[in-house]
Amino acid sequence: MQLDENLAYLIGVLHSDGSIYIFEDKKKNNKMRSTPQYMIRIASYRQLTEIKEGIQKYLKCAVHFEKEKSCNCTNTCFYLSRKNAVSVKKLVYPHIVLPYKVDRLRLFFEQNGPARI
């Protein structure tokens, strides 16, 4: 698959600066989550608006920013869900090579059923 330069840049940033967090805690109504919630955070010293646009365009999901006071940085964040699982599996997953990121993404795909590509 030929990647355009914007998608290649997005994948590079996700691979290098992105962290995959898994939340298995309780929801606000104190019930345990039936499926853990996955969030990808990309750390930077500023809001990455160009990355936000790429995530919205290619991965079809909402993006928000979280300010971290402890390190004076801003995280660009988005959630993995059934809605964007196909896009993530098709566009991002084949290009991730760090074993712990591959394992977390594979776990997400297993827990959320087979992605239809």
Q: What is the pLDDT of residues 64-103, one digit of tens each?
A: 999 988 888 899 999 998 888 889 999 899 999 999 999 9
Place of tokens 């750390």: 43
Task: Catalogue the E-assigned strands of 1-117.
Answer: 18-23, 37-44, 64-68, 73-80
Angle at 42 (CA atoms; ends 36, 43), nearest 5 degrees? 125
Angle at 51 (CA atoms; ends 67, 63), nearest 5 degrees? 55
**pLDDT bracket for residue 117 (50, 70, 90):** very low
Distance between CA 20 and CA 53 in Å, rounded? 19
Q: Where are the domains of the chain?
A: 5-111
Please, what is the average pLDDT of the chain?
83
Domain 5-111 has CATH 3.10.28.10: yes
Q: What is the pLDDT of residues 11-60, one digit of tens each?
A: 888 888 888 888 766 555 556 666 678 899 998 888 888 889 889 988 88
Other C-beta atoms lying within 10 Å of the C-beta of residue 63:
20
- pTM for this entry: 0.79
Statement: residue 111 has pLDDT above 60: yes
